[in-house]
Amino acid sequence: MNSEALTFIVPVLLTIIAAATPLVYAAIGELLVEKSGVLNLGVEGMMLLGAVSSFAVAHVSGSALLGVFTGMFAGMAMALIFAFLTLHLRSSQVATGLALTIFGIGVSALMGQSLIGIAYAGLPDIMIPVLSNIPVLGKLLFQHNVLVYGSFVLVFAVWWFLQHTRAGLVLRAVGDSPEAAHALGYPVIRVRYLATLFGGACAGVSGAYLSMAYAPMWVENMTAGRGWIALALVVFATWQPGRLLFGAYLFGGITILQLHAQAFGINVPSQLMSMLPYVATIVVLVLISRDRGRIRRNAPASIGQAFHPTK
């Protein structure tokens, strides 16, 4: 491959990595939540609150690390509200998740009014010694900020947890049959609480990445539907972490296609290009839904169903 092609391809691939990272965090968190039998549709709202909280704290304190942790805890706080309403008060998970998103949109807009127009330096890239000097691959794989590296580690950790640990087996058992898990003495509500909080933390970090690295500034409703795409990714991946990572990068590529269409000389209205990620989401879900056997084999059997130990 000649140098001119590499000069064009490498920046495109770097842009795809940047666009896919928030999807990875939000989707892998939701995957674990759904594996426990809980369906949280409030991912978009948790991402927004994580984005505005992390940006505000990083701007005031000057600490990127503190900003990321603030975004994580903001997402967990939203998830805790959802968990209390659905697991203790047994409200509808679908309705509560939608309300959580609406709440997050409104609160984040209110909190971020004074932050609009303020720029942030962004998370610094970490150059891995020796490896970062490899031509082409060094820039693609070993010159990213800590959250990009963390996304790969997180996907592997979730896969390992679900497949090779006793706690992961218990979580999957709770998602498949909470009554049977409770009969065996497992704390179903506690497991679902912890899974929901983990999903909230991941959504908060996803939002922090958006406002501190992807586009280091605060813009109202800056998630632009990524929370909904993350929800679709879980189904696309049929609840498998490895496929989820592939799907996130596929959707990330579709998302940034609109940014590079002009470079290819494609004369298509920008509004149509902006629709591509959401059109792709619908098409993928339609195609996946046709393979009902795969969905039945991998989907948690009790997803979205309320459970109370006294029932």
- Nearest-10 crossing angle of helices 43-61, 3-35: 120
Tell me which CATH code domain 3-298 carries.
Answer: 1.10.3470
The pLDDT assigned to 32 comes to 97
Range in 17-26, 204-213, 279-288 the model is least confident about: 279-288
Distance in angstroms (rounded) separating the CA atoms of residues 280 and 193: 32
pLDDT surpassing 80 at residue 125: yes
Sign of CA dihedral 286, 157, 64, 196: positive
Burial (0-12, 13-18, 19+ Cβ within 10 Å), 205: buried
The pLDDT assigned to 42 comes to 96
Q: Which residues contact 1 (CB under 8 A, 6 or more apart)?
A: 9
User: Which residue type, as a one-letter code, is found at position 86?
Assistant: T
Q: How far is CA 272 from CA 247, 269, 281, 282, 286, in A?
A: 22, 5, 15, 15, 20
Instruction: Please give the average per-residue pLDDT across 235-258, as a whole number.
Output: 87
Distance in angstroms (rounded) separating the CA atoms of residues 202 and 208: 10
The pLDDT assigned to 96 comes to 96
Confidence of residue 7 (pLDDT cuts 50, 70, 90): low
**In a 3-state reduction of DSSP, which class is residue 143?**
strand
**Main-chain dihedrals φ then ψ at residue 217, nearest 5 degrees:** -170, 170
Tokens of 97: 């998740």
- Is residue 239 within 8 Å of residue 233, measured between CB atoms? no
The pLDDT assigned to 181 comes to 93
For every residue of 101-121, DSSP letters joined together read HHHHHHHHHHHTGGGTT-B--
The pLDDT assigned to 141 comes to 84
In the chain the first and final C-alpha atoms are separated, in Å, by 65
Q: Select from 47, 30, 24, 68 the least CA-distant residue to 198.
A: 30
Q: Select from 153, 20, 11, 126 the least CA-distant residue to 64.
A: 126
**In a 3-state reduction of DSSP, which class is residue 167?**
helix
Tokens of 105: 């949109």
For every residue of 210-247, DSSP letters joined together read IIIIIS-B--TTTTTTHHHHHHHHHHHTTT-HHHHHHH
User: Which residue type, as a one-letter code, is found at position 129?
Assistant: P
- CB-hemisphere CA count at 13 Å for 275? 8
pTM of the model: 0.92
**Main-chain dihedrals φ then ψ at residue 230, nearest 5 degrees:** -60, -40
Range in 4-8, 32-36, 256-260, 299-303 the model is least confident about: 4-8
Q: How far is CA 188 from CA 6, 9, 149, in A?
A: 52, 48, 32
The pLDDT assigned to 288 comes to 73
| Boundaries of every domain in the chain | 3-298
pLDDT surpassing 90 at residue 308: no
